Chains A and B, each alone.
Chain A
């Protein structure tokens, strides 16, 4: 059984259809990389999954529980319970600027789980060590580079031990050097078999870590397959065109 099951998902902003009849599955341990041109609906798909956008129709089932059944949302406590299984990382980091790195990790964790400060500190120390930023724990985000900020954001999202991580263009605001340090952290998670859905424009990264690549165009999933299939022998003309541009 799939961990996340999406059936006939539809979403419009006023008269503009941004997601048309999306069908999509995520299994545990999958690293799904979603590619496609800007405005193709990739980010919106991710944001619908974690309830940052409301959908107009379709079904989303997570871990055999309905988040949305045929366009009707579950009770808000249920929605909260389901989205709590997900962690999300944004393009613009969205760290809390008035808190130190450590407080960015422990404050939300303590508020949402009711765990003790000791437990929170133990976890945050371990996660900051994992992303290589233990020495920055008492700094405010304004003192960090973009790559460091994004690694803190990843650590923050991991605090509550999510069952799936959603990455919305995590490196699009970074220069190539900083991009690599963030991608290395994500690759580390892939090695640990973290289930992930990653929206990105980093094609070589997609080729390297993805278990499945999804190509979106104009609000629809046009093609999906292994990295070998999508990058090696894409079937759709639009996919070939898109990949042709990104190879250049």
Chain B
């Protein structure tokens, strides 16, 4: 057990970072706008659409993410008739399950952000002659983003850690690689190395969101 060994192990773990970071980035980039679409649909005036969306959000928030992940990867392909069209590889299955789950959480965060905006903002926009779309894009969403950003940053930190659930479907990400290396070497120090890698990435995420918060403050 020397320093060189640990450094080599660190390098191997760092190489597996790619999958973790790609999963993180794709899920964040897609679920942030998708969450907003969920929010809009859950507030839709057409009752069946609203009920369906609220039901979906309830389902996604009310069941374990790991269960959803297992269902997408192992369960869906076995659905008679439909399953053959939904054969995901591990990475795609993880993306799919994570995106839906995080969009549901973000939808609730955005809803809270919208509730925080004074009714007077809508009224001012209306009497100035703005269309509904202009009101949303120019007046409401910029204010909602400011309110929601700290909570979204918190979700991003959670998301990075949740990528470790990919382990359960055999996705070769940081935790998976670490576990394999511990099995091979019997050296539990590998866990600490993985922990440091997660911490460093999360430090960067937190920093990025702090910057974004400063930029949107007014």
| Chain A residues whose C-beta falls within 8 Å of the C-beta of B138 in the assembled complex | 107, 111
| Given A107-B138, A111-B138, residue A94 in contact with residue B130 (CB < 8 A) | no
| Chain B residues whose C-beta falls within 8 Å of the C-beta of A96 in the assembled complex | 121, 124, 139, 143
Interface flags, B137-174, vs A, CB<8A=1, else 0: 01100110010000000000000000000000000000
| Given A84-B129, A112-B130, A160-B129, residue A94 in contact with residue B123 (CB < 8 A) | yes
B169 to chain A, nearest CB (A): 42
Task: Check A52–B126 contact: CB distance below 8 A.
Answer: yes
Q: Is A83 engaged at the interface, CB distance under 8 Å to the other chain?
A: yes
CA distance A142 to B146 in the complex (A): 15
Of A5-13, A27-35, A85-93, the one contacting chain B is A85-93
User: By CB atoms of chain A within 10 A, which of B125, B128, B134 has the most?
Assistant: B128
Partner of B142, one of A90, A98, A157: A98
| Chain A residues whose C-beta falls within 8 Å of the C-beta of B130 in the assembled complex | 108, 111-112
| Chain A residues whose C-beta falls within 8 Å of the C-beta of B118 in the assembled complex | 92, 94
| CB closest chain-A residue, reference B145 | A98
| Chain B residues whose C-beta falls within 8 Å of the C-beta of A108 in the assembled complex | 125, 128-130
A92-B120, A94-B124, A160-B129 given; name 11 further pairs at CB < 8 Å. A51-B126, A84-B129, A87-B127, A88-B127, A90-B123, A94-B123, A97-B218, A98-B146, A111-B130, A142-B218, A157-B128
Partner of B121, one of A50, A94, A140: A94
Task: Check A140–B123 contact: CB distance below 8 A.
Answer: no
CA distance A98 to B143 in the complex (A): 7
Partner of A140, one of B124, B129, B218: B218
CA distance A80 to B127 in the complex (A): 9
Residue pairs across A and B with CB atoms within 8 Å: the count is: 53
Interface flags, A68-84, vs B, CB<8A=1, else 0: 00000000000010011
Interface flags, A92-117, vs B, CB<8A=1, else 0: 11111110000000011001100000
Q: List 9 A-B contacts (CB under 8 A).
A: A52-B126, A83-B127, A88-B127, A90-B120, A90-B123, A94-B120, A96-B124, A96-B139, A108-B130
CA distance A140 to B216 in the complex (A): 12
Binding site for A on B (CB under 8 A): 118, 120-121, 123-130, 134, 138-139, 142-143, 146, 216, 218
Please provide the chain A residues from 186 to 200 with a CB less than 8 Å away from any CB of chain B in the complex: none
B198 to chain A, nearest CB (A): 34
| Chain B residues whose C-beta falls within 8 Å of the C-beta of A93 in the assembled complex | 120
Ranked 3 nearest A-B pairs via Cβ: A94-B124, A94-B120, A112-B129
| Chain A residues whose C-beta falls within 8 Å of the C-beta of B123 in the assembled complex | 52, 90, 94
| Chain A residues whose C-beta falls within 8 Å of the C-beta of B216 in the assembled complex | 98
CA distance A93 to B127 in the complex (A): 13
| Chain B residues whose C-beta falls within 8 Å of the C-beta of A42 in the assembled complex | none
Binding site for B on A (CB under 8 A): 50-52, 80, 83-84, 86-88, 90, 92-98, 107-108, 111-112, 140, 142, 156-157, 160
| CB closest chain-A residue, reference B141 | A98
B121 to chain A, nearest CB (A): 6
| Chain B residues whose C-beta falls within 8 Å of the C-beta of A83 in the assembled complex | 127, 129
| Chain A residues whose C-beta falls within 8 Å of the C-beta of B127 in the assembled complex | 50, 52, 83, 86-88, 157
CA distance A94 to B130 in the complex (A): 14
| Chain A residues whose C-beta falls within 8 Å of the C-beta of B146 in the assembled complex | 98
A170 to chain B, nearest CB (A): 13
CA distance A84 to B126 in the complex (A): 10
Task: Check A156–B128 contact: CB distance below 8 A.
Answer: yes
A108 to chain B, nearest CB (A): 4
| CB closest chain-B residue, reference A108 | B128
| CB closest chain-A residue, reference B117 | A97
| CB closest chain-B residue, reference A47 | B123
User: By CB atoms of chain A within 10 A, which of B129, B134, B142, B216 has the most?
Assistant: B129
Task: Check A111–B124 contact: CB distance below 8 A.
Answer: no
B149 to chain A, nearest CB (A): 12
A117 to chain B, nearest CB (A): 15
| Chain B residues whose C-beta falls within 8 Å of the C-beta of A86 in the assembled complex | 127
| Chain B residues whose C-beta falls within 8 Å of the C-beta of A112 in the assembled complex | 128-130
Task: Check A98–B218 contact: CB distance below 8 A.
Answer: yes
| Chain B residues whose C-beta falls within 8 Å of the C-beta of A84 in the assembled complex | 129
| Chain B residues whose C-beta falls within 8 Å of the C-beta of A140 in the assembled complex | 218
